[in-house]
Every structure is written in structure tokens, then in C-alpha cells.
Structure 1
Amino acid sequence: MADASPRTDTSTDDTDEKNQRFERGQTNAIVASDSSDRSKDKTDQKTLRRLAQNREAARKSRLRKKAYVQQLESSRLKLTQLEQELQRARQQGIFISSSGDQSHSMSGNGALAFDVEYARWLEEHNRQINELRAAVNSHAGDTELRTIVDNVTAHFDDIFRLKGIAAKADVFHVLSGMWKTPAERCFLWIGGFRSSELLKLLANQLEPLTEQQFMGIHNLQQSSQQAEDALSQGMEALQQSLAETLTNGSPGPSGSSGNVANYMGQMAMAMGKLGTLEGFVRQADNLRQQTLQQMHRILTTRQSARALLAINDYFSRLRALSSLWLARPRE
């Protein structure tokens, strides 16, 4: 009995220590659980914030897309209205006659008359290009393909003829290129395209070329470049001469007869120099026309067809780029 008491006390102490360890384990588990819950809550909050940000970004994207679509639709409606106005102008007789001597056939506003005729020319040009593309894709025979190519080339002659008439009525309208889209005007040179630059763009489209064809295209590009440089220098000289004419002259007393005579003399000289602008437009268009004709002679019929399609695609993309630019979303 005396030996049993110490063992009992030891057993009791062991039991208490085990209970304490168990309680500490439970406490640690609870703390760890709380920490895990807090970490999970933080993760959930980050996820929720991210989802909210994604939803907001998606909402803004939908709004921008909706605005862009609305602007495209607005541009389409404006284009439709313009076409209707052009149609009304045709019905009212404000157009260039398609036959006979046209030097005096413009009625009303010369610029409007030319814009109407250009729209008509472009419509017919697109129809011919579609016919040419269908013939190329269906591997039409050389005879049929040559007929279509000749028609497209001849149709280019029409626009050069119409521009010559328009330059007599309003040379500044032709030079400004307001009858073209904004992107086309960005590359305008004396009322049209640069033949040398167009030949550079076509180089990759026309391969494979024979050595003789390659040299022919290269020489044509070089000669076109030289002619363009000469015309550009002439335009610069004209502008300089015109500026000097308008700034020269001795100022006299206001309203004096001498001052009025001097002013009228300056204006007469300036008007005479402006008259040469029409000649520059005509020479530039002659260069463009001759370049297309010589290119046609250098290439085979199928190569000429591909070249005409490439030229049309280039200008079509410029017009499409203008439409997209005007309809772009604005913040």
C-alpha cells in the first residue's frame, strides 16, 4: 500500500500532461484553420476583384464595338445620301456629255460636274474589273481575256479625257484631289498617281518576268521617274514665280490711280501664270496614260490582267482605309 501512492501520482501527472498537449494541439489546429480561412478569404477577394475587372473591361469593349458599328452605319448612310445626291444631279442634267466636243459641255458647277462623272466612271470601272477578275479566275482564253483587258485600258483613257475637260473648268479642283478619298489624296501628285511608284508596287505582282520584260519595266520606271521630276521642278518654278509676282510692285497711296494700275498689272500677270497649271495637269495625265499603255505592250495578256487587278486592289484598299479612318472610334 505504501508503494502504490507514488505510482498513482505519476500516472496522474502523465494524464495531465497528455491533456495539456492535446489542448495545445487543438488550439494550434484552430489557429491554423483560422489562418487558412483568412488566406482563402484573401484569395477569394482577389478572384472577385479580378472577375469584376474582367467584366468591366468586357463591358467597355462591348461599348466601344457598339460605337464603332454605329459610326460605320452612319458612314454608310452618308455614302448612300451622297449617291442619291449624285443621282439627282444626273437627272437635273449637271453632267458631262459622253459624246461629241465636250470642251464646253459642262453646265453649272464644273467641280460638281466632274465629281458626278467620276462617280459614274468609277462605277463602270468596278464592273469591268469584276468581269476581268472572273475571267482570270476561270482561266478564260487569251482572246476573251485580251478583249476585257483592252476595254479596261480604254476606260482609263476616259478618265484622263474627263480630267482634261475638268481642268479647263476648275484646275484647282483637279489639283486638290477633292474628288478622291482622304487616303488617296495623301499620295496625290499633280492630280493623280505617280506612274513610277505604281510600277514599283507592281514589280512583285508581275513575277515571273523574262529578262527582257524585267528590263522593259525597269526602263519604263526610270523614264517615268525622270519625267515626274521634270514636271515637279516645273511646278516648283511656277509657284516661286507666282509668289514673286504677287509680292513685287511698289506700294502707292491708297486708292491712287497708280496703285490700282499696279495691282491690276500684278493680277493680270498672276492670272497668266496660273493658266499654265492646266498644262501641267495635262502633261501629268499624258505621262500616266503612256505608262499604262507601254506597260500593256511589255507584258503578256495575262500579266496585263494581273497588273490591272493589282492596281485596282491598291486603290480600293486606299478607299477602304479612308472609310475606316473616318468611321474610327473617337475617345
Structure 2
Amino acid sequence: MAFHRFYETWFDNLHLLVDQLTQAPKPPTTQDHHHLLHQLVQKTMGHYAEYYRVKSLAAKQDVLSVFAAPWSTSLERSLHWIGGWRPTTAFHLVYTESSIMFESQIMDILRGVRTGDLGDLSPGQFRRVSELQCDTVREENAITNELSEWQDGASDMLGNLCGNIDEKIEGLGRALEKADDLRLRTLRNVVEILTPQQAVQFLVAAAELQFGVHAWGLNHDRRRSNK
């Protein structure tokens, strides 16, 4: 319950951060603007890091409750991968936002006008994003396999509840810890590849996706409870 309260406050503060990100000057026209964007990106990344820090503490107290995520909607839980969002979602978001912005500004880009946003990713940035995606997929698969092995051992756990239940639960906690570490590292590595302007756009898009899924989930749960 303590983490539930933390999450509600954290989620409200994420809304405030996104308001700051969307109000920042784009494109940045002065060095001060560049510095402001950099500060906002670092502040947002710190906000995500704090979430995973507190979540890790909560998981050490009760990993099963953290896995169940009662603070999330039914829709959000249906999309979870090992207690949260799938890290490779970040790359789909980069490619989608880049494609949308590129198409909306294609005439300017063909005339050689550099927009500096996600629609203007350089070949080097695309290469680094692609390489990072491959590495992330490999780590995702390894953690998924680890969880599958844990689940395969569930029958043994049920047959010997008094003997190794604590050890089994600790294994689940380790899988969650690795998944959350990959989630945060993926965000950090993507942001590191992008310019401050691009990072702002990526973080806004990621948060808006989170807000949208949460709102859809709330509406669905309310309709279901009213039946």
C-alpha cells in the first residue's frame, strides 16, 4: 500500500514534468535553451530512476504484490512484461515518432532544412539505435527464459511449500530486478543517443503513451464495474 501511494504521487508529478517538457522552446534557439532542455531531460530521467529505486525497495518487502501491481488498471497489467513495460517498446516509439515527424516535414528535409527533431535522426543515430535494440532484445529474451524456468519449477514449489518457497520467491524477485534494470538502462541509453531536443520529444511521447493506456484502462475498469 505504501508503494501504491508513492506511485500515485509519482504519476501526478510525471504529468507536471511533461508539462515542463512540452513548454520548453523547440527548436532551442540559444545556448540557454539548450541548457534548459538538457536540465529537463536529466530531471525527467531522475524521476524515472526514483521510481525504480522505490519499486526495488517495495519488491524486497513483497515481490508478489509488486508483480500483481494493484495500482495499475486491468489493461496496463495485460500489457506488462515481468512487472512493467517491455523495454523494446522504446525502440518502436522512436521509430514511430521519427516516421511521423519525417513525413510531416519531408519537403523541408528534402530542401536541406535541418529540423533537429526526431524526424531528423542522423544515419549514425539510426545505427546506434538499431545496435542498442539488438542488445536489448537479447537481454529481454534471456530474462524471459529465466522467468520461464522459474514458472516451470512451480509444481516443485507447490509440492514442497515448507521447504523452498522463500527461495523460489527470491528467484522471482531477481527476475523482476533484472527486468527493471533493463527498463531503466534502455531509457538512459536511448536518451544518450538523442540530442536534448530529440530526447524531450521522446520522453513526452513515452509519457503520453503511458497516460493514454492508463486512461483507457480506467475507463474500461469503470464500465466493467458498472455492469
1:207 corresponds to: 119
Q: Is the 8 A contact 1:238 1:273 kept in 2?
A: yes
Partner of 1:120: 9
Q: What is the alpha-carbon distance in structure 1 between the residues aligned to residue 26 and residue 193 of structure 2?
A: 22
The whole-number CA distance in structure 2 between the counterparts of 1:325 and 1:165 is 30
The residue number in structure 2 matching 1:240 is: 152
| Structure 1 moving runs of 4+ over 4 Å | 136-140
Please say if residues 87 and 136 of structure 2, whose CA atoms lie closer than 8 Å, have aligned partners that are also in contact.
yes
Q: Which amino acid aligns with 2:214?
A: R
Q: 1:228 aligns with which of 133, 136, 140?
A: 140
Which residue number in structure 2 is paired with residue 281 of structure 1?
176
- Shift in CA distance, 271/200, structure 1 to aligned 2, threshold 3 Å: same
Equivalent residues of 2:37, 2:196 under 8 A apart? yes
Q: 1:196 aligns with which of 73, 88, 94?
A: 88
Secondary structure of 2:184 counterpart: helix
Question: Aligned residue for 1:325?
Answer: 220
Aligned residues of 1:246 and 1:267 also touching (Cα < 8 A): no
Matched residues in 2 for 1:245 and 1:146: separation?
49
1:256-275 → structure 2 map (5 Å cutoff): 266-275=161-170
Question: Which residue does the alignment assign to 1:295?
Answer: 190
1:6 corresponding residue in structure 2: none
Residue equivalent to 1:134: 23
Mapped to 2, the partners of 1:198 and 1:286 lie a distance apart of: 14
Q: Which amino acid in structure 2 is aligned with residue 173 of structure 1?
A: S
Question: What is the total number of aligned residue pairs between the two structures?
Answer: 203
Shift of 1:137: 5.5
Selected match of 1:304 from 199, 202, 210: 199
> Could you tell me which amino acid in structure 1 is paired with residue 62 of structure 2?
D
Measured on the aligned residues, the alpha-carbon RMSD in Å equals 1.9
Selected match of 2:130 from 218, 223, 228: 218
Q: Quote the sequence identity (%).
A: 26
Task: Give the Å deviation of 1:167.
Answer: 0.3
> Bigger relative contact order, structure 1 or 2, given CA contacts below 8 A and separation 6+?
2
Indicate the residue corresponding to 2:111 in structure 1: none
Where does residue 103 of structure 2 map in the other structure?
A: none
**Does the 8 A contact of 1:168 with 1:278 survive in 2?**
yes
**Cα displacement (A) at 1:164:** 0.2
Q: What is the Cα deviation at residue 270 of structure 1?
A: 2.7
Distance 2:157 2:7 in 1: 35
More off after superposition, 204-213 vs 145-154: 204-213
Q: Does the 8 Å CA contact 1:196/1:224 hold for their aligned counterparts? A: yes
Q: Residues 143-162 of structure 1 correspond to what in structure 2 (within 5 A)?
A: 143-162=35-54
Question: Is the contact made by 2:26 and 2:197 (CA closer than 8 Å) also made in structure 1?
Answer: no
Q: Which residue of 2 aligns with 1:22?
A: none
Give TM-score, length-normalised by structure 2. Answer: 0.83
- Name structure 2 gaps, 5 residues minimum: 98-117
Report the Cα offset of residue 226 of structure 1: 1.0
8 Å CA contact 1:136–1:305 kept in 2: the answer is no
The offset of 1:245, in angstroms, is: 3.9
Any stretches of 5+ residues in structure 1 without a counterpart? 1-111, 248-262
Q: Is the 8 A contact 1:217 1:298 kept in 2?
A: yes
1:198-239: per-residue Cα shift (whole Å, max 9, x none)? 311221213221111001111111111111111111011011
1:295–1:245 distance in 2 versus 1, CA, 3 Å = same
Which amino acid is 1:290 matched to? R
Q: CA deviation at 1:139?
A: 4.8
Alignment partner, residue 40 of structure 1: none
Give the conservation status (yes or no) of the 8 Å contact 1:242–1:270.
no
**How does the TM-score come out when normalised to structure 1?**
0.58
Shift of 1:194: 0.7
